RNA sequence: CGGGAUGUAGCGUAGCUUGGUAGCGCGUCUGUUUUGGGAACAGAAGGUCGCAGGUUCAAAUCCUGUCAUCCCGACCA
């Protein structure tokens, strides 16, 4: 029953990285293009992104954001204004140097992120405290010339959303950055069925140009962490460089306080790894492009196809995303195929069910089979999809908790990173040199300073100096 | 950017050592029978052997270069 039916997919235990790539391609989420790092988002993969977009776009608008669209290209002279920012991104920019047949005086950088465009624009449109806050969001793609690329996890081009906001006060801006982190965290719980580790990034890991960076980190089954989204408090750094000023209520000129935040199609990679298994993809119901697949058994028998179509229509009528597979593949083939594609719920209708007035089916995530009364179809299906979501979230949460370990010695750290796998929670002096040592020894980095900073030891695990922070260490994607 | 591996039909591969008509499995198409966990039979289509040079009467095969993908590092959402 649980043995591997699809020989084409490498098993996770054989080679987790290869398993991941196999799933991406076999489930038809993406395809490679002719340019390294630039992937084709196929309909099934893109539909997952659309579902994430739909959810987030709604949440952003609830928070008062407006969508805008900035240019694809940034003049080099503009990009270079903020020092830390350019230092962070310069090594991975793609630059257009020719327009038509003429060499460009000021070469155009294909945006790796749009901070400077927003800043430049904000400076022009803001003059009074009455203009604030400005809460903008942009859906677009960005380009970063990456050396190593993997589908969804790291591409030279990826789709994302970038929010950019400016505020009158530091408190308001900081609160907003944390609010948006909460939106991301809730998204994990609501639709991705992924519990995120949340916290603050260390000085070294924070965004180029930010004063403070917050993060959501997902723990993958191979024990590695995947940074899945970040929000930033920029302070007034960009505002001063780009001269984004306003007159406050006391008639004095002030610089705005700024934030930005983003999540990308990397979330798809996160979902693939967090929930997938040796049978392939396993999608949480709320982002699954197809939530229910209906498989007619012996479709030539009287009434079977009609019933299958009726079920399809009834489920569509209550707003579900449904597919009825009328093709002449055998049922066994279809079962395996739709498991591989991660469709959360399968319904089967055949002569046996017709006679009994029942509908058979199975869950993708745990392979459990069931049978339900025809009359209860709508009600039961909705309940089951919610149950599947909750169970998937719980399973991921249990994994996260089981794989978050407090460590007090180098030996324990070694054990967590190399044997037990997952997050190592340790006390840290606050000196980056101590973390550098860990990186050198274990190729692991600080993922976050968790918001819960309750100390559990007095000294830093590495240096023995007085401990300042609780920090989460892991290998990362 | 360093180290390793691989490019032959949509996918997986044989052939390469020793140059001589490009083969197999899966998938695809047509038809018939099937159908409750990856069906059977019959017929058919599908190839610039990654690309570019070179050696040769002759190159998938030998030589040089190049590109891409994957893996492992360093760098990064």
Distance, CA of A180 to C1' of B73, in Å: 35
Nearest nucleotide over every DNA/RNA strand to the A362 CA, judged by C1': B37
Output the distance from A15 CA to B61 C1' rounded to whole Å.
Answer: 32
Contact A340, A279 (CB under 8 A): yes
Please give the nucleotide, over all strands, whose C1' is closest to the CA of residue A92. Answer: B76
Contact A228, A207 (CB under 8 A): no
CA distance A343 to A381: 14
* Torsion, CA A293, CA A297, CA A298, CA A304, rounded to 10: -70
Nearest to A185 by CA among A263, A292, A279, A76: A263
CA of A26 to C1' of B41 (A): 29
pTM across the whole model: 0.94
* Nucleotide B27 C1' to residue A334 CA (A): 15
Distance CA A62, CA A59 (A): 5
Residue A300 near residue A270 (C-beta atoms within 8 A)? no
CB A143 within 8 A of CB A35: no
Could you list the pLDDT tens digit for every one of the 477 residues in chain A? 223 333 467 788 877 887 888 888 888 888 877 777 888 888 899 999 999 999 999 999 999 999 999 999 999 999 988 888 888 888 888 888 888 778 888 999 999 999 999 999 999 999 999 999 999 999 999 998 888 888 899 888 899 999 999 999 999 999 999 999 999 999 999 999 999 999 999 999 998 889 999 999 999 998 999 999 999 999 999 999 999 999 999 999 999 999 999 999 999 999 999 999 988 899 999 999 999 999 999 999 999 999 999 999 999 999 999 999 999 899 999 999 999 999 999 999 999 999 999 999 999 999 999 999 999 999 999 999 999 999 999 999 999 999 999 999 999 999 999 889 999 999 999 999 999 999 888 889 999 999 999 999 999 999 999 999 999 999 998
Q: Which nucleotides of B are covered by protein (CB under 7 A)?
A: 1, 11, 33-39, 67-77
Nucleotide nearest to A20 (CA to C1'): B70
- Distance, Å, A9 CA → B6 C1': 18
Nucleotide showing the shortest C1' distance to residue A226 CA: B77
d(CA A319, CA A315): 7
Query: CA–C1' span, A148 to B7, in Å?
Result: 19
Q: What whole-number distance in Å separates Cα of residue A299 and Cα of residue A306? A: 9
Distance between CA atoms of residues A459 and A465, nearest Å? 5
The 8-class DSSP code of residue A153 comes to T
């Amino acid at each position: 029953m649980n043995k591997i039916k699809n020989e084409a997919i490498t098993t996770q235990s054989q080679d987790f990285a290869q398993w991941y790539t196999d799933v991406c391609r076999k489930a038809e989420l993406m395809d490679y293009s002719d340019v390294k790092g630039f992937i084709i988002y196929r309909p099934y993969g893109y539909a997952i992104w659309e579902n994430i977009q739909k959810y987030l776009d709604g949440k952003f608008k609830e928070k008062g954001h407006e969508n805008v669209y900035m240019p694809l290209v940034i003049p080099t002279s503009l990009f270079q204004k903020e020092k830390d920012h350019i230092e962070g991104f310069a090594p991975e920019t793609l630059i257009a140097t020719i327009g038509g047949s003429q060499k460009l005086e000021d070469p155009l950088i294909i945006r790796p992120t749009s901070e400077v465009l927003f800043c430049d624009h904000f400076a022009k449109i803001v003059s009074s405290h009455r203009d604030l806050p400005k809460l903008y969001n942009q859906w677009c793609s960005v380009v970063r010339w990456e050396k190593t690329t993997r589908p969804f996890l790291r591409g030279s081009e990826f789709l994302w959303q970038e929010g950019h906001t400016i505020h009158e006060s530091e408190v308001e801006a900081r609160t907003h950055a944390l609010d948006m982190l909460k939106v991301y965290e809730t998204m994990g719980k609501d639709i991705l069925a992924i519990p995120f580790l949340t916290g603050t990034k260390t000085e070294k890991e924070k965004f180029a140009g930010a004063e403070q960076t917050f993060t959501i980190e997902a723990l993958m089954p191979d024990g590695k962490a995947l940074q899945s989204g970040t929000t930033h408090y920029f302070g007034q750094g960009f505002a001063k460089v780009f001269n984004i000023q306003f007159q406050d209520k006391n008639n004095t000129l002030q610089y705005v306080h700024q934030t930005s935040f983003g999540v990308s199609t990397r979330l798809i990679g996160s979902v693939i790894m967090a929930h997938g298994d040796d049978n392939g993809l396993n999608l949480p119901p709320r982002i699954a492009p197809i939530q229910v697949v209906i498989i007619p058994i012996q479709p030539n028998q009287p009434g079977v196809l009609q019933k299958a179509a009726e079920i399809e229509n009834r489920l569509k009528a209550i707003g579900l995303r449904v597919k009825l597979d009328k093709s002449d593949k055998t049922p066994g083939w279809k079962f395996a195929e739709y498991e591989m594609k991660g469709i959360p719920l399968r319904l089967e209708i055949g002569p046996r069910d017709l006679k009994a007035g029942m509908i058979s089916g199975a869950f993708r995530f745990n392979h459990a089979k069931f049978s339900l009364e025809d009359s209860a179809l709508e009600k039961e299906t909705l309940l089951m999809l919610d149950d599947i979501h909750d169970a998937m979230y719980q399973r991921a949460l249990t994994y996260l908790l089981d794989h978050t370990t407090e460590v007090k010695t180098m030996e324990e750290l070694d054990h967590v990173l190399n044997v037990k796998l997952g997050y190592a929670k340790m006390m840290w002096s606050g000196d980056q040199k101590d973390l550098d040592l860990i990186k050198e020894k274990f190729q692991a980095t600080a993922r976050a300073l968790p918001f819960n900073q309750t100390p559990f030891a007095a000294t830093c695990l590495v240096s023995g100096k007085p401990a300042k922070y609780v920090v989460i260490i892991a290998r990362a994607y």
